[in-house]
């Protein structure tokens, strides 16, 4: 059975002190490709989150 997790736009901000890091050029390209395959003109939050979890 899968556990329900709320979508990222309904979650509160993380409380840690870690700074966010920008996507690398390769991650940006992967997010853009994923968006184009889904018929979107540019990547959305979910595409960017997916790309940030891929191998660097």
Indicate whether 6 belongs to any domain.
Answer: no
How many domains does the chain fold into?
A: 1
CA angle 27-14-49, nearest 5°? 20
Indicate whether 40 belongs to any domain.
Answer: yes
Share of the chain above pLDDT 90, in %: 55
Average pLDDT over residues 19-42: 94
Indicate whether 48 belongs to any domain.
Answer: yes
Is residue 53 predicted with pLDDT exceeding 70? yes
Indicate whether 50 belongs to any domain.
Answer: yes
- Sequence length of the chain is 56
Indicate whether 8 belongs to any domain.
Answer: no
For residue 12, give both structure tokens.
């509160």
Indicate whether 30 belongs to any domain.
Answer: yes
Do 32 and 23 form a contact (C-beta atoms < 8 A)?
no
Q: Which residue has the higher pLDDT, 46 or 13?
A: 46
Indicate whether 33 belongs to any domain.
Answer: yes
As a whole number of angstroms, the distance between CA 27 and CA 20 comes to 14
Indicate whether 29 belongs to any domain.
Answer: yes
């Amino acid at each position: 059975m899968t556990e329900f997790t709320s979508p990222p736009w309904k979650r509160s901000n993380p409380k840690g002190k870690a700074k966010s890091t920008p996507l690398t050029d390769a991650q940006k390209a992967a997010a853009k490709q994923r968006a184009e395959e889904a018929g979107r003109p540019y990547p959305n939050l979910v595409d960017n989150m997916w790309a940030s979890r891929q191998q660097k």
